Amino acid sequence: MNSHADVVRVDFTRGFSEADAVRLSAGDAVELTGRVLTLRDASAARLAASIAQGEPLPVSLEGQILYAVGPSPARPGQIIGSAGPTTTERMGRYLPALFEAGVRAVIGKGELHGRDMAAFTARGAIYFAAIGGLGALLAKQIAAATVVGCEDLGPEALYALDLVAFPAVVIIDRAGRNFHETARARWRLP
């Protein structure tokens, strides 16, 4: 993994481009700046069902980064409450449809294996991990939060979040390399 001086800054305020994706490698520490859409179990299920039925989506998923998070309500004077990552594996069954609709990357937490990892590698999607348990601190890297769909789902609604220097690590890169697997292999005894 890179030292603090080697943090890759990814500014996708004008979209997360192919050039952004290919310059990232598994293990890179990154700071993400730009708009993401939130993803939770209920919103993921609803989006996947709409895609399968050919129904219009509340917002385009083309080129989007999704953040697996269930933000807590904001206190007075806050933009958002705690906003730490949730386990990406729980959304695994919806990922193929979301990638097919144009999603380029997901921010979450936890390891991905088998089918869940294959969804990323088949589409060349990026998996970023944020550190779980830091929801209050990560919320400070969110400059705006707006509900853009599925409002009836409450905390599982679809939000647009504007991230500023949001810290994460590239776990699965565009080439399908998995940092969890390569890092573990380095520490195995022969």
Domain boundaries, the chain: 28-187
Lowest mean pLDDT among 22-26, 83-87, 185-189: 185-189
pLDDT > 90: what percent of the chain? 81
What stretch of H or E contains 107? strand 105-108
Cα(73)–Cα(89) distance, integer angstroms: 24
Q: What are phi and psi of 37, to 5 degrees?
A: -110, 140
- At residue 186, does pLDDT exceed 50? yes
Q: Mean pLDDT score of the chain, rounded to an integer?
A: 92
Question: What is the tens place of the pLDDT at every residue in 66-115?
Answer: 999 988 888 899 999 999 999 999 999 999 999 999 999 999 999 998 89
How far is residue 129 from each of residues 52, 54, 87, 150, measured CA to CA in Å?
28, 31, 10, 25
Query: What is the CATH number assigned to the segment(s) 28-187?
Result: 3.20.130.10
CB atoms < 10 A from the CB of 53, how many?
7
Cα(40)–Cα(126) distance, integer angstroms: 18
CB atoms < 10 A from the CB of 54, how many?
6
Q: Which amino acid is at 149?
A: G
